[in-house]
């Protein structure tokens, strides 16, 4: 786990990404110190995914968007009461944090997931899917400060609203392969978890 409060800045790359963002209208000129700190976290999260600073812009735009599209089948996997309540609690957790940089987001989310009986991998997958519409990306410890309070709460709220006001929490009976479809769900804690 990376402590994103102590991200080592790459000043040359930071300046180049900042200039590309300014040219594209994604950053004011001069860039405020908070924006430069954001770019440092962005480089730690996404720096290995692009060769040129201009290639960073699609990632920046995706992070700045207010909403994401969650593909149909992953959205169906989220369609149950435990996941809905878990995501709502994650939103409350975010709302209670004065700062999202430098906190152990993933560890905290796993503690929250225990309350709802959601397996660790399923919990992290559900949060990532609700926030990005993808099952891969940087650690949530880096993703949360990049998205910020408002976007996280809007994105989780949109997914929960879609789940509740779409078809409700009744899952589809069968997947595209014709087999019974299972949502993410609560699991019984194993003996080790019960002792903790």
Domains of the chain, residue spans: 8-64, 72-191
Q: CA 53, CA 63: separation in Å to the nearest integer?
A: 16
CB 183 within 8 A of CB 118: no
Please tell me the class of the 72-191 domain.
Answer: mainly alpha
3-state secondary structure of 180: strand
Residue pLDDT, tens place only, 21-64: 999 999 999 999 999 999 999 999 999 998 899 999 999 999 99
Answer whether 8-64 and 72-191 agree in fold. no
Of 90, 102, 111, 104, the C-alpha closest to 153 is 90
Q: Report angle CA 42, 118, 132 to the nearest 5 degrees.
A: 30
CB 108 within 8 A of CB 86: no
Residue pLDDT, tens place only, 78-91: 998 999 999 999 99
pLDDT, residue 143, reads 97
Bridge partners of 108? Answer: none
Q: Is the pLDDT of residue 1 over 60?
A: no
pLDDT-derived band at 186 (thresholds 50, 70, 90) equals low
Q: CA 138, CA 17: separation in Å to the nearest integer?
A: 18
Residue pLDDT, tens place only, 96-113: 999 998 899 999 999 999
Q: CA 52, CA 97: separation in Å to the nearest integer?
A: 34
| Second CATH level (architecture) for the domain 8-64 | Orthogonal Bundle (1.10)
Cβ contacts of residue 137 below 8 Å, gap of 6+?
Answer: 45, 128, 143
Please report where in the chains the tokens 């994103």 appear, as a residue.
4
**Cα torsion 158, 184, 100, 93: sign:** positive
């Amino acid at each position: 786990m990376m402590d994103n409060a102590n991200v080592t800045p790459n000043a040359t790359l930071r300046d180049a990404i900042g200039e590309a963002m300014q040219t594209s209208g994604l950053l004011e000129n001069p860039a405020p110190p908070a924006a430069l700190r954001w770019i440092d976290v962005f480089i730690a999260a996404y720096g290995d995914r692009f060769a040129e600073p201009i290639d960073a812009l699609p990632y920046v735009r995706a992070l700045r968007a207010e909403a994401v599209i969650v593909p149909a089948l992953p959205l169906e996997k989220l369609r149950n009461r435990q996941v809905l309540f878990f995501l709502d609690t994650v939103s409350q957790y975010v709302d209670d944090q004065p700062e999202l940089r430098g906190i152990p987001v993933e560890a905290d989310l796993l503690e929250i997931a225990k309350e709802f009986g959601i397996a660790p991998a399923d919990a992290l997958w559900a949060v990532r899917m609700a926030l990005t519409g993808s099952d891969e990306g940087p650690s949530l410890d880096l993703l949360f400060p990049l998205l910020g309070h408002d976007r996280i709460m809007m994105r989780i709220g949109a997914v929960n609203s879609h789940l509740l006001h779409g078809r409700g929490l009744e899952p589809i009976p069968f997947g595209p392969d014709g087999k019974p479809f299972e949502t993410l769900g609560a699991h019984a804690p194993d003996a080790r978890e019960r002792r903790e």
